[in-house]
Copies of this chain bind each other. A is one copy, B any other.
């Protein structure tokens, strides 16, 4: 990590990161130019290359500063669930994964709704900007959740579990990325600002999907 020796440079770094975060969430990586970012942040164009080396370095920094805290909260919630019961419920495991992301809506200090949307888009972004960062930041956390789900759903083969985690991840990513449009798309029928409601609905939906056809799926370890 880069040292922060001067107060002014911290300001500049943060202003660039904040502006980039917003524009990347709204337009995507390729559609966001460094000129648009520096103009919005009211810093000089050359400041991006000075502080982050390149556009790719900036993108990685934008995701990097927020991803760690979210994943640490996920693991902390899973830890707490595992301390509270020898085998945590499916609902508790799913909630540990989902709540820290959805609660970003009311946590501007960690990126707020903007970073939530950015996170939802991450796997749809082209190129190799994020490959290494996600392997480092996401894989260890995902491995722990996979193990927790396996002991909760021992009748599922690893293939079945993978498919269902994938479907659940899709529902979550889509919700994060589209959260700002849902009220409009539903013609006012739903209220995305009711964070606890959204979390509970997502947990219920995915838990039901994870448990579907429990009787028929007992082909192993039953």
Contacts and interface: CB of A to CB of B under 8 A. Distances in A.
A84 to B, nearest CB: 23
- Protomer copies: 2
Given A28-B28, A182-B166, A212 B202 contact: no
A76 interface: no
A222 interface: no
Q: How large is the interface on A (under 10, 10 to 19, 20 to 34, 35 or more residues)?
A: 35 or more
B27 A127 contact: yes
A169 B213 CA distance: 20
Interface in A3-31: 26-28, 30-31
Nearest to A168: B171
A38 B148 CA distance: 49
B190 A163 contact: yes
A186 B162 contact: yes
A162 B163 CA distance: 23
A171 B167 contact: yes
Interface string A183-216: 0011001100000001001101111110111000
Interface string A153-181: 00000111011101111111111011000
Interface stretch (A40-48, A67-75, A118-126): A118-126
A31 B127 contact: yes
Contact of A202 (B123, B125, B167, B169): B167
B170 A172 contact: yes
Contacts of A189: 158-159, 162
Contact of A178 (B166, B178, B206): B166
B174 A170 contact: yes
Interface in A24-83: 26-28, 30-31
B126 A28 contact: yes
Contacts of A125: 28
Interface of A: 26-28, 30-31, 121, 123-127, 158-160, 162-164, 166-175, 177-178, 182, 185-186, 189-190, 198, 201-202, 204-209, 211-213
